[in-house]
Chain A
């Protein structure tokens, strides 16, 4: 292999062109690739969402045949969860964790490369499953049997993709845990770590705890489909309800895997723009840990209607409502951090405040869903859709946007266009609420999810929701434009573009050099 050496800095020995990216073991390169990959998948998942909302724009079947509609909802969920949100946070961790703890790179640089390059394979499998006979999986992103036991080749491709994504996540998580535990700069004790690093440490532990269980679940599904086992196949004495238990044992911690790093991002940004240290740092750490622990004992609240003794329902109801306590501690701490701070409202701060505001709405509707008698009413309606989009879009996704705006000057060495950034925020904020707030009403009125048609009384709210969704989708193209404009022609960024930034990455030059902290900094 002929590799052209690129020698413009005395440390920058790496292949150029495409091979730089294929063979790279540099945490910054890999972080960049994670982020671009997740953005590409975000656009694919967004395209599917636009298809769903276009079909639901009016009652009746206009654009998508019901089977294809089901594939759209299924793949929208899978791609957004496993392809967009999770890799984006791993990308942020790759960029930021070593820089924030004063480490030169991730602990296992080559494994890092491998865990990224598994992702495009899985993404390609998911997308190409639309074009095989029988189409893509259509049984919902939770792929409950018996539907997932019956589908065609598309379901097998989905199962294989989930295996690959699981392997990638486990490797990524192992890498992050090892980096954080073993490679912190001298003097940085655990309780001096930035909050983003703490949330990722806990998230990574959750990942190694539950991703293997998901791998086991899909393996059981695969052997049920092709090798004559009967874990979930009632015809052979198996139990489809067992699948739901095992799946949600993974699935509920999974939603915290997607939100804890978001908590970390917001806990970095709000202090910076309030020019005050984070209020209640140690309570924040303990709250994160208790959310993670509680998240492992609440899985059956997804299954209140699947058949469960009343005592089980009560346990899972109370345990679920208990999560509101540490979450409330966090929200209180963020608010208290802003209290009497000298606040400014640059784009990262706007997205963070938007996050706190809308995540609280999603959190409250979560407590509503936790109440068994109400859950039995709203189960599988648009109320649930509204709930988890408030925590995943205005929660996880807004935090990712905030993080990108916050750290882009450090990554690219250039500032983004503040005016356009603010426009991106306000358009996202307005269109998001137009799209999803009305879905609460639809759900309470009884509109079921995953159905391409609806009865006429739901027509107006659905049209409003679709308009909001189209607006939200288009707004994200503006985000792409802002990022590209920043990288190409943004103003030069200073080493510390945010006055209040206090973590280690701001002690590095902008853009961050290819190799940083080769001699670890000393933390006092």
Chain B
């Protein structure tokens, strides 16, 4: 192999190595890219209030039982709903209250993530106000009551008579 070929080869090697490193970084860049994509397209929309048609009709013939569930993961908090369940007609708006208490002697922040059963409830549950839209910061020993205002879309399949809404508070890193 002549000297010049070796030189060209090494130049090529460097280019390809740099390209590989860029692609490694691209793997990580996919994370914020997907977040942005979901935010722009409204997929996975957890943090924004829903907009509902004002003239939505209340379906008085049906009554849906909503179980309210509250959990804490990795936080020194107590978290509960003040009613264990409520009954509403589809299309009727309702406000339920939750309570959190910081048991520790330091300031802690957390974010609530909702989950629903059955899973497709997500499509029919319209929330106007929720403590889960923002992070919650609690001072040592602080107690806070927080509302969730929502309706259930009357389009919900007729065979559904009981659903569960669950919130779990996750710890946020200090500073986030």
Asked if B5 CB lies within 8 Å of chain A CBs, one says: yes
Binary interface encoding of chain A residues 167-180 relative to chain B, with 1 for a CB under 8 A from any of its CBs, else 0? 00010011001100
Q: Which of A105, A174, A245 contacts B13 (CB 8 A)?
A: A174
Chain B residues positioned under 8 Å from A237 (CB to CB)? 111, 113, 170
CA A321 to CA B12, docked complex, whole Å: 35
Q: Find the B residue at minimum CB distance from A235.
A: B73
CA A3 to CA B71, docked complex, whole Å: 68
CA A220 to CA B23, docked complex, whole Å: 14
Given contacts A208-B20, A309-B43, 12 further A-B contacts (CB under 8 A): A105-B1, A181-B12, A183-B5, A183-B9, A208-B19, A209-B23, A211-B20, A211-B23, A212-B20, A212-B26, A216-B24, A216-B28
Given A107-B9, A178-B13: A215 touches B170 (CB 8 Å cut-off): no
Asked if B158 CB lies within 8 Å of chain A CBs, one says: no
Binary interface encoding of chain A residues 153-197 relative to chain B, with 1 for a CB under 8 A from any of its CBs, else 0? 000000000000000001001100110011100000000000000
Chain B residues positioned under 8 Å from A236 (CB to CB)? 170
Q: Which of B18-35 contact A (CB under 8 A)?
A: 19-28, 30-31, 34
In contact, B9 and A182 (Cβ under 8 angstroms): yes
Asked if A231 CB lies within 8 Å of chain B CBs, one says: yes
Max count, chain B CB within 10 A of own CB: residue among A183, A213, A214, A231: A213
In contact, B27 and A217 (Cβ under 8 angstroms): yes
CA A76 to CA B40, docked complex, whole Å: 40
Q: How distant is A62 from chain B, measured CB to nearest CB, in Å?
A: 36
Q: Find the B residue at minimum CB distance from A111.
A: B13
In contact, A246 and B30 (Cβ under 8 angstroms): yes
Q: How distant is A128 from chain B, measured CB to nearest CB, in Å?
A: 27
In contact, B73 and A220 (Cβ under 8 angstroms): no
In contact, B24 and A215 (Cβ under 8 angstroms): yes
CA A108 to CA B5, docked complex, whole Å: 11
CA A105 to CA B6, docked complex, whole Å: 12
In contact, B23 and A210 (Cβ under 8 angstroms): yes
Chain B residues positioned under 8 Å from A216 (CB to CB)? 24-28
Chain A residues positioned under 8 Å from B34 (CB to CB)? 239, 242, 245
Chain A residues positioned under 8 Å from B41 (CB to CB)? 309
Q: How distant is A292 from chain B, measured CB to nearest CB, in Å?
A: 15
CA A101 to CA B83, docked complex, whole Å: 77
CA A105 to CA B21, docked complex, whole Å: 26
Chain A residues positioned under 8 Å from B51 (CB to CB)? none
Q: How distant is A177 from chain B, measured CB to nearest CB, in Å?
A: 6
CA A218 to CA B26, docked complex, whole Å: 14
Max count, chain A CB within 10 A of own CB: residue among B12, B74, B113: B12
Binary interface encoding of chain A residues 217-231 relative to chain B, with 1 for a CB under 8 A from any of its CBs, else 0? 100100000000001
Chain B residues positioned under 8 Å from A468 (CB to CB)? none
| Interface SS majority for chain A | helix
In contact, A178 and B24 (Cβ under 8 angstroms): no
- Chain B: interface residue total (CB-CB under 8 A): 29
Asked if A95 CB lies within 8 Å of chain B CBs, one says: no
Q: Which residues of B contact A (CB under 8 A)?
A: 1, 5, 8-9, 12-13, 16-17, 19-28, 30-31, 34, 41, 43-44, 73-74, 111, 113, 170
CA A440 to CA B25, docked complex, whole Å: 40
Q: Find the B residue at minimum CB distance from A109.
A: B1
Chain B residues positioned under 8 Å from A107 (CB to CB)? 9, 12-13
Given A178-B9, A242-B31: A212 touches B113 (CB 8 Å cut-off): no
Given A220-B28, A237-B113: A213 touches B13 (CB 8 Å cut-off): no
Q: List 17 A-B contacts (CB under 8 A).
A: A107-B13, A174-B16, A178-B9, A208-B16, A212-B21, A213-B26, A213-B27, A214-B27, A234-B113, A235-B170, A236-B170, A239-B44, A242-B30, A245-B30, A249-B27, A309-B41, A309-B43
In contact, B16 and A212 (Cβ under 8 angstroms): no
In contact, A178 and B5 (Cβ under 8 angstroms): no
Q: How distant is B104 from chain A, measured CB to nearest CB, in Å?
A: 19
CA A217 to CA B26, docked complex, whole Å: 10
Binary interface encoding of chain A residues 241-253 relative to chain B, with 1 for a CB under 8 A from any of its CBs, else 0? 0100110010000
Given A178-B9, A178-B13, A183-B5: A235 touches B74 (CB 8 Å cut-off): yes
CA A211 to CA B41, docked complex, whole Å: 29
Q: How distant is A468 from chain B, measured CB to nearest CB, in Å?
A: 39
In contact, A182 and B24 (Cβ under 8 angstroms): no
Chain B residues positioned under 8 Å from A215 (CB to CB)? 24, 27
CA A91 to CA B30, docked complex, whole Å: 33
Chain A residues positioned under 8 Å from B27 (CB to CB)? 212-217, 220, 246, 249
In contact, B24 and A104 (Cβ under 8 angstroms): no
Chain B residues positioned under 8 Å from A231 (CB to CB)? 31
Chain B residues positioned under 8 Å from A182 (CB to CB)? 5, 8-9, 12
Q: How distant is A204 from chain B, measured CB to nearest CB, in Å?
A: 9
Q: Find the B residue at minimum CB distance from A231.
A: B31
Chain A residues positioned under 8 Å from B31 (CB to CB)? 220, 231, 242, 246
